[in-house]
A and B are shown apart, each in its own frame.
Chain A
Amino acid sequence: MSIDWITVIAQIANFLVLVWLLKRFLYKPILNGIDARETEIARRMGEAGAAREEAEAAEKSFHARMAQLQADRDAAVAKALKATEEERAALLAETHTRLAREQRELHVHMEQERQKFLARLQQAGAQTLVALTRKALRELADETLEAAMVRQVLGQLAARADELAQAAGSDTTALVTTRAPLPEDLQAQLHRETDRHLPGFDLRFATNAVQSPGLILQVGGAQLSWTVDSYTDELTTLLDERLAAEASGRGDTPHAG
């Protein structure tokens, strides 16, 4: 066991060279690589942190925007519902008003139609009544309708002559109106009876096409008459009662005879 000092010196030199070589080719590259990788990792972590913060901010913004949109949507829905409700109420009110107006117009129209129908019915009834009466009088009593009317009015004249004279006052005109001119024999009969009950009165004859069939004797403000109006009015009253009973569901039926 001996020490070769030349070898010792050579080994010291070798060791120092090895220290320099390993520093150059091992330690520095490895440590610098580790530092660079740690720096890169730190940078990426920083970027990831920044990206995460950005993502969180975006998420928060998104949630806020979603909440705002939700609130806007709820407000819009509530507003639309309110507008729809108001429009519905307005349409309903308008419909009710129009319905009421149409009902009123319908009632008016129906009333007008009823009045027209009654007028036509009254006119037809009057004509029918006159025709039937005329036929019945001719067949049963061998008498004309005009003669019967004159006899009826003259009967009233005999009973109310004083009343007519007072109603006439200073007017001494008596007017007889019919729809058709009276036969001359009946006019002569009326002259005679008027002169007997109302002496001094001037009797005149006139025709009125729109007058109800019959005979009217006017003396001043009073008059004596026989027309079919009373009969047609009674017929109309009976028909009204019958229609009203059927409309109300009572179902009354007129008894025969």
Chain B
Amino acid sequence: MQLTPDQDIILRLGEFGLNATIVNTWIVMALLVGGSVLVTRNLCPDVPPNRWRTLLETIVQMIQSQIGEITQTSARHVMYFAGTLFLFIALSNLLLVVPGFAPPTSSLSTTVALAISVLCAVPLFGIASGGLGRYLRHFIEPSAVMLPFNIISEFSRGISLAIRLYGNIMSGAVIAAILLGVAPFFFPVVMDMLGLLTGLIQAYIFAILATVYISSATADPPPPSPPEDAP
């Protein structure tokens, strides 16, 4: 039993093997982009939206609303990043129910890649928002003693993101595989349904946490408190 689709090599090009994680990622990407292209290819403002366009508008507006509530701004760049995280993870997790399809998010490489993307995006958004000095200054707040702890906290965020998503998705797939051997029909179906719910929740948590990290990096620092009078 393979715990990660990284080991499933589908095509080998010289020294590099094209594993199932990458291929399945491309499938998810193709589904997302293809569906978007099909729905948005003939957009006209004076034409009433059809049901698919309405579905995509609802999803996009829901993402925009959630990100707006967290960041208190209407920054679209954050939405592009966090929204793509949510859609990619959610669709990958939903495809768990397709027989023979190993979700890319059940690969630790994928979750690590997404966590690294978040780790890189946080300073980039922070520097783009307030400049390099302000971003670096928050590592020594409230005092310089906190510098190592803030650095550890920054990296631990990424590790927790990667491990949480990987653990949830991989465990769901493993449990479903184990139960398939024990009770061939009933328990796998129940676990797959539970896996769908868990997958959506994990996608939501991953995207929300990424948005929170970016928001904390781009938020304005609190105004300095007035000095207290000496007794």
Chain A residues within CB distance 8 Å of chain B: 1-12, 14-19, 21-23, 25-27, 29-34, 36-37, 39-40
Contact = CB atoms under 8 A, between A and B. Distances in A.
B37 A25 contact: yes
B113 A12 contact: yes
A29 B40 contact: yes
A25 B39 CA distance: 9
A34 B107 CA distance: 36
6 contacts: A4-B6, A19-B81, A21-B29, A21-B33, A26-B32, A40-B46
Interface in B1-25: 3-4, 6, 16, 19, 21-22, 25
Contact of B80 (A11, A17, A27): A27
B178 interface: no
B45 A40 contact: yes
B22 A33 contact: no
Contacts of B36: 21-22, 25-26, 29
B14 to A, nearest CB: 12
B222 to A, nearest CB: 31
B21 to A, nearest CB: 6
Contacts of B87: 22
A37 B44 CA distance: 8
Nearest to A37: B45
Contacts of A25: 33, 36-37, 40
A15 B60 contact: no
A15 B32 CA distance: 12
A3 to B, nearest CB: 6
Contacts of A30: 40, 53, 56-57, 60
Given A23-B80, A25-B37, A27-B83, A11 B22 contact: yes
Interface in B77-123: 79-81, 83-85, 87-88, 104, 107-110, 112-114, 116-117
A5 B33 CA distance: 26
Given A1-B4, A26-B40, A11 B109 contact: yes
B155 interface: no
Contact of B113 (A8, A22, A33): A8
Interface in B98-156: 104, 107-110, 112-114, 116-117
Given A15-B84, A17-B29, A19-B81, A31 B60 contact: yes
A203 to B, nearest CB: 142
B109 A22 contact: no
A11 B104 contact: yes
B183 interface: no
